[in-house]
Structures are given as structure tokens and as C-alpha cells.
Amino acid sequence: MEAALLLTQLVATGVLSCWLTVGVRDNLLHPLMNETYTAQVMEMIRLRLEYPVEYEQIAHREITDRRIQTLAFRGIVAAEILATLLLWIGTLGCEHAYSACPRAERQPGACA
């Protein structure tokens, strides 16, 4: 039972690690694409165009300073890199714990 839980954790963290690694890769190789979309969100462009009444209520929140937008995007990418590294550490920890489990009938606490 413990091995099944470890295997499930290994797969779950492994999938998240792989998915976030692709995101980090794309942000490092093609930063202008996602940086542009981040800037559009911060400027609330679509909200202004598609929901002008609602936009007027929160227009004071938009961030149009390009320096702040760039800094925010870099912060997002840095946090994404940190999260990816931590997920990979967790994945490798699960793999190590799973490989330490004996193949024979597993007793509670045998994999600790």
C-alpha cells in the first residue's frame, strides 16, 4: 500500500515537473511572446475592449509602465523556475523513496 502511494506521488509530481519545465523552457526561449501577453493583462486591454462598463470601475488598477510589466514578468519566470526546481527535487525524492521499498510484500513503515 505504501509503495502504491509513493508511486502515485512520483507520477503526480513527475507530470507537474515535466509540464512546468516546458513552461520554463518556453519562457526562456521565447520570452517576448509571454511577456507581451502578461503586459496586455496588466493593461487590461481585453477588458477595456469587451467590457467597457466593468473596465471603468477598475481602470485605476491597470499597470501601463513598461518597466513594471517587465519586472513583473521576470519575477513570474523566476518564481516558475524555483517552483520547477522544487518539483523536480520532490519528484526525485519520491523516486528515491519508491526505489528503497522492497519488492516483496510491503509492510507498513518498510519504505521509511
Tens-place pLDDT, residues 69-111? 999 999 999 999 999 999 999 888 877 777 777 664 445 555 5
pTM listed for this prediction: 0.74
Region of 65 (left: φ > 0; alpha: ψ -120 to 50; beta: rest) is beta
- Give the per-residue pLDDT at 72: 96
pLDDT tens-digit readout, 21-65: 999 999 999 999 899 999 999 999 999 999 999 999 999 999 999
CA trace torsion 14, 20, 26, 28 (10° rounding): -100
How far is the C-alpha of 10 from the C-alpha of 92, rounded, in Å?
8
- Give the per-residue pLDDT at 103: 62
Type of residue numbered 24: V
